Amino acid sequence: MLLPVVVLARRRDVVELIGEALVAHARGCGQRTIAAGLDLPRSTVRGWLGRFGARSATIREHFTRLAGWLEPGFGPIGPRGSPVADAVEAIGVAAAAAARRLGPNPGSAWELAAGATGGRLLCNTPTPFPTPW
């Protein structure tokens, strides 16, 4: 089944909203604060943060490779203080590399994250993300 890049597999909310929660968490906000700010149930946000946190190393590696493929020689991605922040940073770096390579409007960083993982950014399976190369 093909998914549009605005959604993730088995998630009801759009990827931009999920991304907003992940960025807030990377900046140090807790799940209650994030849930209240987004007007969502705490359990929904807790699920997103937990799944992303559990896969943060894999996500960081995947998007670091993608950034290198999009822009060879882009340089190292420095640590941001937590595995979640490192993964969010890698997504941002890959999105910036995509914008430089593909033009000024290749989509948002979170649409890139959805597309580059085949919609499986927050899946709970050990299936690896698809690689574009």
- Across 9-13, 100-104, 123-127, least confident range: 123-127
Tokens matching residue 35: 């849930």
Q: How many C-alpha atoms does 88 have within 13 Å on its Cβ side?
A: 21
pLDDT in tens, 25-78: 999 999 999 999 999 999 999 999 999 999 999 999 999 999 999 998 877 888
Residue 121's pLDDT band (cuts 50, 70, 90):
confident
pLDDT of residue 8: 82
Query: Which amino acid is present at 21?
Result: A
| This prediction's pTM | 0.89
Tokens matching residue 75: 């340089």
